[in-house]
Amino acid sequence: MANFILRLVGYALVLGITAWAFQTLWSGSGLDGVAVLRSFHDKATLALRVAPLVLALVGVGLLRQVALFAAFYLVGAALTAPLVCARIAGL
């Protein structure tokens, strides 16, 4: 049980900081005003908020490396998505 709580807190910290950076980059790029991207933003934010629990539940034993890979994949995707969306939207 203690290992689960440590994994949950670790994933929550990493993905919480990433969600904050994602929101900062999103607002800083001026993507708040693009209505077409609102659904993408909402789904990405929800994924970053739910993922720590899922990763902490799955990340036991042999699946620990898969959970770590998924966490870092989400971090990379969340940090680059606002920049890509701004480029595509022409902002």
Q: How far apart are CA 91 and CA 79, in angstroms?
A: 17
Give the span between the Cα atoms of 7 and 4, in whole angstroms. 5
The span from the CA of 70 to the CA of 76, in Å, is: 10
Q: pTM, whole model, 2 decimals?
A: 0.85
Expressed in angstroms, the distance from the first to the final Cα of the chain is 47
pLDDT digits (tens, 9 = 90+) for 53-91: 999 999 888 899 999 999 999 999 999 998 888 888 787
Q: Which residue ranges make up each domain of the chain?
A: 2-89
The predicted-structure confidence for 21-35, as pLDDT tens digits, reads as follows: 999 988 888 888 888
- What is residue 60's DSSP assignment? S
**Closest to 52 (Cα-Cα) out of 18, 2, 1:** 18
